[in-house]
Amino acid sequence: MYRICDVAVVDPRDGSVTPHQDVHIDGGRIAGIGATSGPAGEAPDVDGRGRFVVPGYADMHAHPLNLGDPTPELRLMLAFGITGYRQMSGTPGLLRRRRRAADDDRTPRLLATPGPVLTPLNAGRPGTAAAEVRRQARDGADFVKAALITPEVYAAVQAEADRLSLPVAGHLPAGIDVRAASAAGFRSIEHLGPGLGVLAGCSCHEEQPAPGRGPIPAPPFRIPFAGRVADRMLQRLVVNPAQLTSSATLDATRDAIAGFDEGRARELAREFAANDTWNCPTLIRLRGQQLCDDPAFAADPDLRYVTAKERRTWAAAAAAFRRKFDERRRAVFAEQFALQLRLVRILDEEGAPLLAGTDAVGAAWVVAGASLHDEFDLLAEAGLSPLRILRAATSDPARFLHRERDAGTVEAGKEADLVLLDRDPTVSVAGLHAVGGVVRGGRYHDGATLTAWKEEAGRR
Ligand SMILES: [Zn+2]
């Protein structure tokens, strides 16, 4: 039992800030909150003076468990205030291990994971796809992730998942209209599509056949029987799927940009809100693809936290992007990115639910942990308020995951997964970056510990 003393408690739902509170932590939970009874005594009490406490951040689109040894990346995430994450690709082994694993309060909490992502390899036809959904439900998956499936397979997947009360999330199936997917119950759309997925639904050219969905990201996982060459190819694809954009897709992108209709976009956003269809835009991931050769990436000081090999891979992806696409083509990607920012603002203004996510680990220029802060900045650039961004990383993920009893606010009885900030996060996005300490599962990690974990990651 200890106290975080004399701290300002922030409620992400309404932005209220209650100063001079003591937050009592007992075991892994918040035992109580009340007016401060005085300054912190000796450790384990924590001095909260001048600080703000918010629920721990959730990275709602990440892949750390794809790594052989995820510990450095997980520590890095925690060091940046991420106390929980939604793993976006699973394996039968991962589901098995999770059932046995004890909670580790030195890594973020695994909030949800699917089994293997659905692709033609395990979900090529409606029957096999439905069987795969049943298998994943049995193995304890929290949702199924669509990656590369046909509309016909999607219908079978959604029906089977509905029957088992399992959400379907992921990439919009190619060839399916985004409105139809939303109406059918698709729970969360990742990367705004990917490709033209959501943008195509905002076009006044929509009566035309929907364009191909463009840069088709390969599933970020290893195909068991793929040879080393195929494996390397897949990995390159994960690094930057935009690299595979054909000229036909680029033309379709140009069309979608030209045909963008704000009224259609607002209408779609309202449908998302009505159907409870969430979007996890992963703007940092989209930026890393569509502006892959932006020199700002190569100069990012946070690159020191990734391995030299990863840095080389990303630099090579940037060079390949520049070789493949001339200035005119790169300008289309840049316009697409700008339009996606505008779209996110519209989603927010119309009340469509949003999640903060990054697509770490493996994606070009997406540094585990640090990238959630890049995402905060991009959401701010899109026009979201600091409070709205805080919500997309805290109370909204709790709502999305039906974990509101345990998480999402700083309240008695909830999990003690918290971030201590040195600045007010409701005033500016800089406040969201000012992580001065993290509580995970009740255990307090001070600023020095967080810095040490970052440095450790940087020494690899
Ligand atoms: Zn992903």
* C-alpha 37 – ligand 1 centre gap (Å): 46
Tell me the average confidence (pLDDT) per consecutive run of 10 residues in the chain, 460 residues long.
97 98 97 94 93 98 93 97 97 93 93 95 95 97 95 97 98 91 97 92 68 44 52 73 92 94 97 98 98 97 96 96 97 98 98 98 96 98 98 98 98 98 98 98 98 95
The CATH number, out of the four listed (3.40.640.10, 3.20.20.140, 3.40.50.720, 3.40.50.2000), of the domain defined by the range 56-400: 3.20.20.140
Cis peptide before 44 (omega within 30 of 0): yes
* C-alpha 62 – ligand 1 centre gap (Å): 6
- The phi and psi torsions of 52 (rounded to 5 degrees) equal -125, 140
Residue 56: CB atoms within 10 Å? 24
Residues 6+ apart with CB under 8 A from 393: 57, 58, 59, 60, 356, 372, 376, 432
CATH topology of 2-54+409-458 equal to that of 56-400?
no
At position 221, the amino acid (one-letter code) is: F
Contact 359, 281 (CB under 8 A): no
* Axis crossing angle, helix 370-382 with helix 386-393, rounded to the nearest 10: 140
* C-alpha 191 – ligand 1 centre gap (Å): 8
Contact 449, 75 (CB under 8 A): no
* C-alpha 106 – ligand 1 centre gap (Å): 24
* C-alpha 201 – ligand 1 centre gap (Å): 22
Tokens representing 215 are 């840069």
Q: What is the DSSP string of 244-285?
A: G--HHHHHHHHHHHHTB-HHHHHHHHHHHHHHT-EEE--HHH
CATH superfamily of 2-54+409-458: Urease, subunit C, domain 1 (2.30.40.10)
- The phi and psi torsions of 112 (rounded to 5 degrees) equal -165, 150
Q: Cα–Cα distances in Å, from 410 out to 23, 24, 374, 382, 436?
A: 9, 11, 24, 27, 17
pLDDT value of residue 215: 41
Q: What is the DSSP string of 30-67?
A: EEEEEE--SS--STTSEE-TT-EEEEPEEEEEE-GGGS
* C-alpha 63 – ligand 1 centre gap (Å): 7
* C-alpha 346 – ligand 1 centre gap (Å): 23
Q: Give the domain ranges of the chain.
A: 2-54+409-458, 56-400
Reduced to 3 states (helix: H, G, I; strand: E, B; else coil), residue 434 is coil
* C-alpha 366 – ligand 1 centre gap (Å): 11
* C-alpha 66 – ligand 1 centre gap (Å): 11
CB burial string 215-231: b at 16+ within 10 A, e below:
bbbbbbbeeeeeeeeee
Which helix (H) or strand (E) element contains residue 84? strand 82-87
pLDDT value of residue 214: 42
pLDDT value of residue 273: 98
- φ/ψ bin of 27: left (φ > 0), alpha (ψ from -120 to 50), beta (otherwise): left
* C-alpha 307 – ligand 1 centre gap (Å): 20
* C-alpha 393 – ligand 1 centre gap (Å): 17
Tokens representing 126 are 């409606």
* C-alpha 170 – ligand 1 centre gap (Å): 8
* Axis crossing angle, helix 247-258 with helix 327-349, rounded to the nearest 10: 50
* C-alpha 219 – ligand 1 centre gap (Å): 8
